[in-house]
Amino acid sequence: MIELIPAIDIIGGKCVRLSQGNYKSKKVYNENPVEVAKEFEYHGIRRLHLVDLDGAASNHIVNYHILEQIA
């Protein structure tokens, strides 16, 4: 059986999806990543791939407070 691991990409404290990795072309899917993580947990998901895209762009953790709340 395959284990699916959902991803939550975070920019500016919001859940986003980039178009072809382009930071200028992003769509906000939800204002609150913690709520999204809780929804996944409610549906039985036990693992998430969390991506601090602000941190990836600046080479240091930016959204630590959100990552900490989800962990």
Q: Render pLDDT for 4-63 as a digit per residue (tens, 0 to 9).
A: 999 999 999 999 999 999 999 999 999 999 999 999 999 999 999 999 999 999 999 999
Q: Identify whether 51 is part of a domain.
A: yes
For the record, the structure tokens of 67 come out as 């990552």
Domain that holds residue 54: 7-70
Residue 57 lies in a domain: yes
Q: Both tokens of residue 35?
A: 């709520």
Q: Is residue 65 part of a domain?
A: yes
Q: What integer pLDDT is reported at residue 40 of this predicted model?
A: 98
For residue 27, is it within any domain?
A: yes
Q: What pLDDT score does 68 carry? A: 96
Within 10 A of 8 (CB to CB), how many other CB atoms are there? Answer: 21
For residues 13 and 63, the answer to whether their CB atoms sit within 8 Å is yes
pTM: 0.89
Measure CA 10 to chain center. 4
| Total number of domains constituting the chain | 1
As a whole number of angstroms, the longest Cα–Cα distance in the chain is 37
